[in-house]
Amino acid sequence: MDQYRVQPGTKLDLQAIDPGQTGGLTREAAKAETKALNKRLEDLQELLYAENKHKVLVVLQAMDAGGKDGTIRKVFEHVNPQGVKVASFKKPTAKELAHDYLWRIHQHTPGTGMITIFNRSHYEDVLVVRVWDIVAESRWSKRYGHIVDFEQMLADEGTTIIKFYLHIDKEEQKSRLQARLDNPAKHWKFDVADLDQRARWDDYMRAFEDAISRTSTADNPWYVVPANHKWYRDLVISRVMVDTLEALDMSYPESEDLSNVVIP
Ligand code: ATP
Ligand code: MG
C-alpha cells in the first residue's frame, strides 16, 4: 500500500493517479480480502482499547459523493462502537468562527485507547476556504505550516494519524450524484449546493494537491486512495489501517496472576 502513500516533499499530481485502479483484483477477490482485514481490524481495535496506550486519528477527505460515509460504514463495520468515534465537520457555527480554525478540531482528537475518524477536518480550512476565498490567501497560506505543526504535536504526544484522500474523477461523481437524484430514498443525500462545488472541480483538485503535498510527513502521511471502485477503496483503506495498527506492536496489559482465583 506504500504506492498510495504520498512521500514527504513530493509534489502530488492527481491527474497522474488513475482513480479507477483495481490492483488487478476482481470485485469478489477484493471483497473477500477486505472481509478478512476487517475482522483483523476488530481484533486490533480491541487490543488498542485494552492496552489503553495509543490514540489513533483517521482523517477522511474527498469531494462530495467521494465515499466518506461508505468508507466509515464498510471499513469499521466490525469494530466495537465503544472504541470508535466519528467527528463530522460541517460549515462552522458562529461560535466556531469566533475562534481559530483548529479550536473545534482539537476537542475531538482521540484519547488513549480510542480511534477517532474525522469525516472532513481542519483540511477544509485550506480546501473549501481557499476555493471560495472565505479568508484571504495571506491567511490560508499560513495554515499548511500550522497544520503540520499541530499534527506533529499530536504525534509527539502519542497520536497515530492516518490521512486518506478518496480519489474519484468528475465522471464518477456525476454518476453517483445522478444515482441519488434517480432514487427518491436517496434525495436526502442530494444537496443542490454540491453542484456549485462540482463547478469548481479543477480548483478543488489544485487545492487538494497543495494541501496533501505540503502536509504529508513521515509521521503523519497522506494516502491517495483510488476510489472510483468502492470495493477497491475499502480494501486499500482496510489494509492501511491493519498495517498501521500492527506496526504499533501492541500487547494486552499484564494482569495479576489469576490462576488461583475461584469464583464462589
Ligand atoms: P454528506 O455526505 O452528508 O453530504 P458532507 O460531509 O458533505 O456529508 P454536508 O453537510 O453536506 O456534509 O457538507 C458540509 C459542508 O461544510 C461541506 O460543503 C464543507 O466543505 C463545508 N465545510 C466544512 N468545514 C468548513 C469550513 N471550515 N469552512 C467552510 N465550510 C466548511
Ligand atoms: Mg454534502
Tell me which ligand sits closest to the C-alpha of residue 69. Answer: 1
pTM given for the model: 0.97
User: Is the CB of 172 within 6 Å of ligand 1?
Assistant: no
Written as nine digits, the cell of 23 is 490492483
Which atom from ligand 1 is nearest to the alpha carbon of 128? 20
User: Is the CB of 70 within 6 Å of ligand 1?
Assistant: no
Q: State the average pLDDT for the chain.
A: 97
- 120 CA distance to ligand 1 middle (Å): 7
- Using DSSP's 3-state secondary structure scheme, residue 171 falls into helix
Which atom from ligand 1 is nearest to the alpha carbon of 194? 18
List average pLDDT for each run of 10 residues in the chain, which is 264 residues long. 95 98 97 97 97 98 98 94 96 98 98 98 98 98 98 98 98 98 95 96 98 98 98 98 98 92 95
pLDDT the model gives residue 69: 97
- Is residue 210 within 8 Å of 4, Cβ to Cβ? no
CATH 3.10.20.600 fits 2-7+45-246, yes or no: no
Domain ranges (residues) in the chain: 2-7+45-246
User: Is the CB of 92 within 6 Å of ligand 1?
Assistant: yes
- 92 CA distance to ligand 1 middle (Å): 9
User: Is the CB of 69 within 6 Å of ligand 1?
Assistant: yes
pLDDT digits (tens, 9 = 90+) for 208-264: 999 999 999 999 999 999 999 999 999 999 999 999 999 999 999 998 899 999 999
Closest CA to 201 of 234, 172, 163, 230: 172
State the Cα–Cα distance between residues 215 and 149, nearest whole angstrom: 9
pLDDT digits (tens, 9 = 90+) for 202-213: 999 999 999 999
Closest CA to 14 of 67, 58, 61, 65: 61
- Is residue 158 within 8 Å of 112, Cβ to Cβ? yes
